[in-house]
Structure 1
Amino acid sequence: MLMRIGASVIVMAMCVTACSGGGGSSPTPTPTPTTTIAATISPESQAATATENNSEASFSFEATRTGSAPGAVVADVQYDSKILMLDGLITQTGNVYKASFKSAKGLGGGKFTGKVTFRLCQETACANVYPNTTREFSYTLDVPLDDWVTQQRNASHNGYVHATLNAASFKKAWEWNAQFTERLSTAATKADSLFVTRHDVDGTVAVHALSTADGSARWSYSFGRIHYGASSPAVSGNQVYVATMVTSSGNNKIEVIDSASGRYLRSMEFASQWSNFSPPTPYGSDVHFASGYYGGVAYNFVAETGNLRWTTNGGGYSIWDGMTPAVDDKYVYFYGGETLDVFDRATGAQVKRTTNPHFVWGGYSYYGGPILGANGNLVVYAGSGTGGIQQWSHPLLSFAAVQGTVNWKSQDAYVTTPALANGVIYVARNGPQRLDALNETTGAVLWSWNPPSSLEKFIGNLVATDNMVFASTDQKLYAISIGNGAPAILWEADTPGLISVSSDFKLLVAVRGPNLAPTSRLVAYSLR
């Protein structure tokens, strides 16, 4: 939308004097006023950077008027109001006009470019523009995406990327193939680096840092042979966190590695047995984790020192591993299967415990975390043994966590790790194969999409943006349109797997083969 604003009206009056004398001579003709007005602008361009959650940035320029005009002079600006808004009125000091702008707050990630047209007019409607006064100011606003910090991107575990993407721009950027690798984890990201956990066929586990730009190696750190498992990385500040398990005991470790150098920093100990893990959940100055020798234990570590801030027990012991808490400014949300616990983030004191009346046991693992939505609502699977890697199917549940009530249970059972964006939950099921969009408030199905082949099975996690959702089957990776019209395939690739998105708009895929078979491939696609 093009916006035009007129301001700063100045009237230039000509003073004309008629002279008379004797002898009845004719009056001297009044000279025709000459228009000499012109304008220059400084600076002619500006660039700014903002953040995905607050894309507001400032731009300004000054226009200097020279010469004169016989009538009114009105300063006018035209700009795209979907991107910019005037920050106050156009001001005038002498012959200098100043225009200040702010970018809109809700733009999301992306690169936004445009021009502001400045001109001097004879009237507010600007039907008549003075020659030599139209000037252009160019702006560039770069809004990088937030880092992919932990399970499903953030401490809310919502898998939401606030950006509008153009599928026509998608292209493969690079591929990293780790020889002798059994499997690769979902990647975490910080700025232009990604971090991935690598499990080799001989049991050796290492974390690798790569460039998101070209996949080149930056560093690697080996944990040695780990016979049980290690989590995907989490990253916050200058630290990378990987939960590892060497043996069933009370002193397994979250290893902490410097994100820039790959240098070992410290370990944080926890209890577990026979476990595989989702990544820890960093939040502020804390690192939160779920484990326990028989499951059901919430841990809060001090990120800077690794000291244990508090630990407390949840009410359910049917989930031993794979769950990671959700966290916000006040609370830690801990799902134990039979119960959902809310703990005070600062002290660990229990705020609320809600019984899950629909729990169905499907194994000791969960592979995911509670999804924190609007108004303190929490979305979880009703049972264990699911979350995109294991293929048990369970309904979704929505809890009003602090109030201690169940909002709804989905009509169908699902298998993938959901994404939640703008009041809609995206999740997929098999038998029949179908991706559903659920209303976050009611759980009702808003629309559904079926993959092209009935032989395809949904796997892994979903990632939602403002105009599309990424979903994998065991054969393809898809970008499906959301919003107006029926859902449709916008883009597809032959690299299904576990997905994340970096701040420089790379879609990162830890590729999985048929029947969820892990591979040694990490593939990156440029999303712009």
Structure 2
Amino acid sequence: MGYARPWATIILTSALSACGGSADTGSGGAGTAPPTISTLNVALDSSSPTTEVSEGSKATYSFSATYTGTPSGAVVPDIQIDGGRFLLANAPTASGANGYQVKLTNADFLPGGSTTNAVTFRLCTDASCTTVYPGSTKTFSVNLNVKLKDWATFQRDAAHTAYVAVKYNAANFRPTPVWSVPSEGSAPSAVAACQGSVFANFQQGGTTSSHSFTRAFASASGVQQWSYDLGQVGFNVSAPSCATAA
């Protein structure tokens, strides 16, 4: 009786080993190896270009991508663009057996100024890009400068449209510097704005003997930059206009 328990233990262990019970914790068979994704090395013909566009206009920027390596399945190009200032002009087009042409264009109604926009190109195994080919992800920057026209005269320009092809977020607006009108009865006209300065005409008094002045203010600080005496101009003084030197 003293040997019965060790012998039973040996028999049970051998039986489990023969059935593979202790080695398989899954479905009862050998595990399935994950699919092998091949490496595709991508090269771009782009560095970090600078594109300039006038207000309300369109500009395009194109680049090409080629890869080396043997795909282990389908190959789908995917482009990601940060910043919201650029978008795809059209879907990437195939170029040869292992290349793609990509064309970008700027979005509409962009605020003025310069920005740096990151562009990422990669190759995926499907349209949803659940799996990215190793070696295929490349990122570069496109610098965009949007130039706005001056508010050069009353209602902005000679067409009197007062239209600006820009869309701003109202939540980002902040109070601007304020210049207090002198207490001697100066009546300001409408304004013009060019290259960081705001211009207005001021009529002092309100009689034919009163003087009028053109004054310039720094748009960033509200500080008066200069004043010019227009002399006697009657009861009505119109708004000034300005122009930026070419």
Same fold (TM > 0.5): yes
Would you say the 8 A contact 1:181–1:198 is kept in 2? no
Alignment of 1:119-198 (within 5 A): 119-123=122-126, 126-177=129-180, 179=182, 182-198=186-202
The one-letter code of the counterpart of 1:85 is L
Change (3 A) 1:68 1:218: farther
The one-letter code of the counterpart of 2:132 is V
Distance in 1, matches of 2:157 and 2:132, equals 52
Q: Which residue of 2 aligns with 1:386?
A: none
Q: What CA deviation, in whole Å up to 9, does each residue of 1:442-472 have, x standing for no partner? A: xxxxxxxxxxxxxxxxxxxxxxxxxxxxxxx
Q: Which residue of 2 aligns with 1:203?
A: 210
Alignment of 1:226-245 (within 5 A): 226-236=233-243, 238=245
Q: What CA deviation, in whole Å up to 9, does each residue of 1:304-336 have, x standing for no partner? A: xxxxxxxxxxxxxxxxxxxxxxxxxxxxxxxxx
Q: What CA deviation, in whole Å up to 9, does each residue of 1:393-420 have, x standing for no partner? A: xxxxxxxxxxxxxxxxxxxxxxxxxxxx
Q: Which residue of 2 aligns with 1:103?
A: 106
Q: Which residue of 1 aligns with 2:42?
A: 39
Segments of structure 2 that go 5 or more residues without pairing to the other structure are 1-35
- The structure with more strand, counted as a fraction of residues: 1
Change (3 A) 1:157 1:79: same
Q: CA deviation at 1:96?
A: 5.8
Q: CA deviation at 1:155?
A: 3.4
Larger RCO: Structure 1 or Structure 2 (Cα < 8 Å, ≥ 6 residues apart)? 2
The one-letter code of the counterpart of 1:134 is T
Larger radius of gyration: 2
* 1:84 and 2:91 matched: no
Segments of structure 1 that go 5 or more residues without pairing to the other structure are 1-32, 239-259, 261-528
The one-letter code of the counterpart of 1:49 is E
**Aligned partner of 1:60 among 59, 62, 69:** 62
Distance in 2, matches of 1:120 and 1:85, equals 16
- The structure with more helix, counted as a fraction of residues: 2
Would you say the 8 A contact 2:54–2:148 is kept in 1? yes
Q: CA deviation at 1:53?
A: 2.8
Q: Which residue of 2 aligns with 1:466?
A: none
Question: How many residues are matched?
Answer: 206
The one-letter code of the counterpart of 1:235 is C
Change (3 A) 1:213 1:63: farther
Would you say the 8 A contact 2:153–2:192 is kept in 1? yes
Would you say the 8 A contact 1:46–1:138 is kept in 2? yes
Q: Which residue of 2 aligns with 1:75?
A: 77
Would you say the 8 A contact 1:44–1:61 is kept in 2? no
Q: CA deviation at 1:222?
A: 2.0
Would you say the 8 A contact 2:120–2:138 is kept in 1? yes
Distance in 1, matches of 2:109 and 2:170, equals 18
Q: CA deviation at 1:119?
A: 0.8
Would you say the 8 A contact 1:115–1:137 is kept in 2? yes
Q: CA deviation at 1:132?
A: 2.8
Change (3 A) 1:162 1:86: closer
Change (3 A) 1:215 1:82: closer
Would you say the 8 A contact 1:186–1:232 is kept in 2? yes
Would you say the 8 A contact 2:122–2:138 is kept in 1? yes
